[in-house]
Structure 1
Amino acid sequence: MANDQTTQNEQVLPADVDETILEGELVGTEDETASDDAGKVAPESAENEDVASDTGEKSESTVNALGKQLAAAQEEIVTLKEQTLRVAADMQNNRRRADKDVENARKFALEKFVNEMLPIIDSLERTLDACNVEDEATKVLRDGVEMTHSMFVAGLAKFNVEQLNPQGEVFDPVYHQAMSLVDAPDAKPNTVIAVMQKGYNLNGRLIRPAMVMVSKS
């Protein structure tokens, strides 16, 4: 019996030893596996950091690009706004010029016609000056010429034609054309002492200056 128990113990011990060895081997294997896993995790972490860094750089680059595009768009908006204002101002100026041209065309459309009528009035006035007021033979003729002259002047006045007769006025080079300078002791210097031909305005614009004689200074 004792021998049988000893034999059993001898048979059990190797089994226990083997289990310990196996456990050691398992522990070693687990440590190696953990070490391998740790070695694998480290490169993955580094790779993730590289990816994050690249993503950050790309995001910053994208933001910078968008900022430049925004600045360019804002500058273009300012330029287009200035161009729009300039075009609007040009259109308004053109409209004003067109309105003024139309108004001037309406006001001075008769200028050519009036210039054609002025020599007729001049002839009537010269006829009146030539007629002797005291001569009864020419009185009827004078009255007729005077009536015709008055009708011409009144008709032109209806179209804003103004007659300029500067007799006794101070000489004005804008409205008067000096034909000669004469000594006139009884007149003030630079005064119109005789009107050789009357002047005319059309709607406030001079169409013919008055031809005058002026006293010397």
Structure 2
Amino acid sequence: MATEQNEQTQDLELEQTEQQTAQDTEQAEVSVESLQEQLSKLEENLKLEKARTANAVYEAEKTKERLEREADTAKKFALEKFAKELLDSVDNLERAIAANGDEKTALSEGVELTLKSLLTTLEKFGVVVIDTANGFNADLHQAVGIDPNAKANEIGNVLQKGYTLHGRLLRPAMVMVGA
């Protein structure tokens, strides 16, 4: 009997060991599957984060470029108010030359040289006289009257020169236009 009980005990222990091994194998399989699932989730998260990072870098570059453009524009047109004020001096020097007529005196030559120097300096910083020879352009010219001697849509008389600063209208040219 003792041997039978020993055999039964051994059989029982063997069954328990086999069951334990089967459970361990199942847990190992479940663990591998769950690990693979976790790995795929992590890979998806990584892809998402890489996309977010790339988007953030792209947005930062665009913002940097926009700020640089705005800074360049601000630099270009920082002189706008100052240049507008100088145009009054240019107009006064031109009126002084026109009032003198054809007489060439030392004073009139000095005024002409001063005007030439001022215009050269303005051109150096992007201030350019508006062309009035190619007909009327409402974007650049301000019609203040009708000139009966001029052809239709042509500029007859320029009352005040206009100027641009780096292509932006600083002051329109005041002109008389043909009807």
Say if 1:165 and 1:195, in contact at 8 Å, map to a contact too. no
Mapping of 1:5-154 within 5 angstroms?
Answer: 35-129=4-98, 131=99, 133=101, 140=105, 143-154=109-120
Say if 2:150 and 2:178, in contact at 8 Å, map to a contact too. no
Partner SS, residue 211 of structure 1: strand
Q: CA RMSD in A?
A: 3.0
Say if 1:178 and 1:214, in contact at 8 Å, map to a contact too. yes
> Which whole-Å CA distance do the structure 1 matches of 2:140 and 2:82 have between them?
20
Query: What TM-score do the two structures reach when normalised by structure 1?
Result: 0.65
Q: Return 5+ residue gaps in structure 2 as ranges.
A: none
- How many aligned positions are there? 178
Q: Mean Cα displacement is larger for which, 99-108 or 199-208?
A: 99-108
Which residue type is aligned with residue 15 of structure 2? Answer: A
> Which whole-Å CA distance do the structure 1 matches of 2:126 and 2:44 have between them?
55
Q: Partner residue of 2:138? A: 173
Partner SS, residue 171 of structure 1: coil
Listed one character per residue, the Cα deviations across residues 137-188 of structure 1 (whole Å, up to 9, x for unaligned) are: xx5465554443223212222223211141x3233233223334x375752x
> Which whole-Å CA distance do the structure 1 matches of 2:129 and 2:147 have between them?
27
Pick the aligned partner of 1:196 from 148, 156, 159.
159
Q: Return 5+ residue gaps in structure 1 as ranges.
A: 1-31
Query: Which structure's CA Rg is the greater one?
Result: 1
Higher-RCO chain (CA-CA 8 Å, sequence separation at least 6): 2
Pick the aligned partner of 2:122 from 156, 163, 167.
156
Partner SS, residue 52 of structure 2: helix
Query: What TM-score do the two structures reach when normalised by structure 2?
Result: 0.76
Listed one character per residue, the Cα deviations across residues 118-152 of structure 1 (whole Å, up to 9, x for unaligned) are: 111122333444x2736x5xx54655544432232
> Which whole-Å CA distance do the structure 1 matches of 2:178 and 2:143 have between them?
10
Partner SS, residue 134 of structure 2: coil
